[in-house]
Amino acid sequence: MRPDWDSYFMKIAFLVATRSTCIRRKVGAVIVKEKRILSTGYNGAPSGLLHCLDIGCLRDKLNIPSGERQELCRGLHAEQNAIIQGAMYGVSLMGSTIYVTNQPCITCAKMLIQAGIVKIVYQGDYPDKLALEMLEEAGVEIIKFIPDDKEV
């Protein structure tokens, strides 16, 4: 059976997440406009730097809980990498949709708002209520994707 568009792009986001070098959470993001992929991103260290898979997780070493003190991390979030990829190649993200395997954090929420993303489709939860509040205030459509029983 042919998947609907949300299922299709969410599956691609999960595939993108397999490139993640984060020890704690594998996240993938796909930015789409008019049913065309504009950019993708996964969480991991900036290009040219050692990955957490290789040297360990700074957040684990400092006992930092998920959802707190995001600045104390070697990695960029999937959403950040997808936005940066668009910028590197001169692709406007204005009016686009992002499919992401987990709910964005507050830092990513602010970047998505500023980049002109108008819709977020996510599957997994993340402990950041303020992010959802700011996205709602900005008028960004937020959809929690619930796969049907046939999907992974």
Residue type, 15: L
Torsion of CA 115, 121, 123, 124, to 10 degrees: 30
Tell me which of 34, 68, 71, 79 is the catalytic residue: 79
Distance of CA 62 to the CA centre of its chain: 24
How crowded is the C-beta side of 39, counted as CA atoms within 13 Å?
A: 22
User: Which residues face 142 on adjacent strands?
Assistant: 120
On whether the CB atoms of residues 14 and 26 are closer than 8 A, the answer is no
Residue 77 counted as an annotated binding residue: yes
On whether the CB atoms of residues 59 and 22 are closer than 8 A, the answer is no
On whether the CB atoms of residues 67 and 105 are closer than 8 A, the answer is yes
Enumerate the H helices of 38-143 as residue ranges: 52-55, 58-61, 78-88, 106-115, 129-137
Residue 22 counted as an annotated binding residue: no
Residue 108 counted as an annotated binding residue: yes
133 carries an active-site annotation: no
Q: Kindly list the catalytic residues.
A: 79
Summarize the annotated binding site for Zn(2+) as residue ranges: 77, 105, 108
Summarize the annotated binding site as residue ranges: 77, 105, 108
